[in-house]
């Protein structure tokens, strides 16, 4: 079962808009050293929509190579094109990823039967554990618990990254899909309530710049230390809020630049965040003790 704190990794870029391979590999090693329980390259935070296919595959391969089996790698392989998602998922399997994270098809607005058919096609074409990424705020469609339960009957559909912000959803999902179905939060601010509802961890934006603290939240929960859970979460909440003061990953890339991890550069149509947003991000990092 995938569990704990897993950053949805940013993709660093150079000043000429190329992938900064050295910065990315260094970032992966820092994440592992700081206690992250897994790594998720090429998700929304990794700007997968603006990566070419070859870049996407290269980032997945670099992450797997740098991780060197120390923690699981869950490769983002989703697309609104089923055939494209199949290709990326097959590549993740061949590259040695431990699982694939597949987003619900955005823009197309498929029906529930369409969602089922999309994920079944990917499942049947690639022999790798698959996590459904349900994020209605970005993809417009919302996979119902009933559809997810149908998919959970397929042997390689093993869990969900739930970014619905519906705190009743995890409990309903656990009942419908069974105790072996992995439920991960896709929303940092509600990661702790999701654990209380039957979740197993968080695929996190904030873990990019606070990996130790995010891992501490999950470890304290596992240990049953609720006082520490709430103390860590209270410390992190202003950071969670600041990292979504504008469209992600703009704020988190700026935060990473303040920590000296990489450039704040993102690819269009994501632009540099406003000065007022920069002030909010910096203040949140200082308040949490992440920046001196």
Chain segment 227-286, per-residue pLDDT in tens: 999 999 999 999 999 999 999 999 999 999 999 999 999 999 999 999 999 999 999 999
With a threshold of 0.95, does the pTM exceed it? yes
Positions annotated as catalytic residues are 133, 161
pLDDT tens digits for 49-70? 999 999 999 999 999 999 999 9
pLDDT tens digits for 140-193? 999 999 999 999 999 999 999 999 999 999 999 999 999 899 999 999 999 999
Percent of the chain with pLDDT over 70: 100
Percent of the chain with pLDDT over 90: 99
Instruction: Look at residue 1 and tell me whether its pLDDT is greater than 90.
Output: no
Q: Residue 291: count other Cβ atoms within 10 Å of its Cβ.
A: 15
Q: Which domains does the chain have, with CATH numbers?
A: 4-223 (3.20.20.70)
């Amino acid at each position: 079962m995938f569990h704990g704190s897993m950053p949805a990794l940013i993709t660093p870029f150079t000043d000429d808009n190329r992938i900064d391979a050295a910065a990315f590999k260094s970032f992966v090693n820092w994440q592992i050293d700081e206690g992250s329980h897994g790594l998720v390259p090429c998700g929304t935070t990794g700007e997968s929509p603006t990566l070419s296919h070859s870049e996407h595959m290269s980032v997945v391969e670099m992450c797997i190579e740098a991780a060197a089996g120390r923690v699981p790698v869950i490769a983002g392989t989703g697309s609104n094109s089923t055939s494209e998602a199949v290709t990326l998922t097959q590549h993740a399997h061949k590259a040695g990823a431990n699982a694939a994270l597949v987003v619900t098809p955005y823009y197309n607005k498929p029906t529930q039967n369409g969602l089922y058919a999309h994920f079944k096609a990917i499942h049947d074409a690639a022999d790798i554990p698959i996590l459904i990424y349900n994020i209605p705020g970005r993809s417009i469609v919302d996979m119902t618990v009933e559809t997810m339960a149908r998919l959970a009957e397929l042997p390689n559909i093993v869990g969900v990254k739930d970014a619905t912000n519906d705190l009743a959803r995890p409990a309903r999902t656990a009942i419908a899909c069974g105790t072996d179905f992995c439920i991960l939060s896709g929303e940092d601010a509600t990661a702790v309530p999701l654990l209380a509802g039957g979740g197993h961890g968080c695929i996190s934006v904030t873990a990019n710049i606070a990996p130790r603290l995010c891992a501490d939240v999950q470890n304290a929960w596992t240990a049953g230390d609720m006082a520490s859970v709430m103390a860590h979460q209270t410390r992190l909440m202003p950071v969670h809020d600041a990292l979504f003061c504008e469209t992600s990953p703009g704020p988190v890339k700026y935060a990473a630049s303040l920590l000296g991890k990489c450039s704040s550069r993102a690819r269009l149509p994501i632009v540099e965040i406003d000065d007022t947003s920069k002030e909010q991000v910096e203040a949140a990092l200082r308040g949490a003790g992440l920046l001196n």
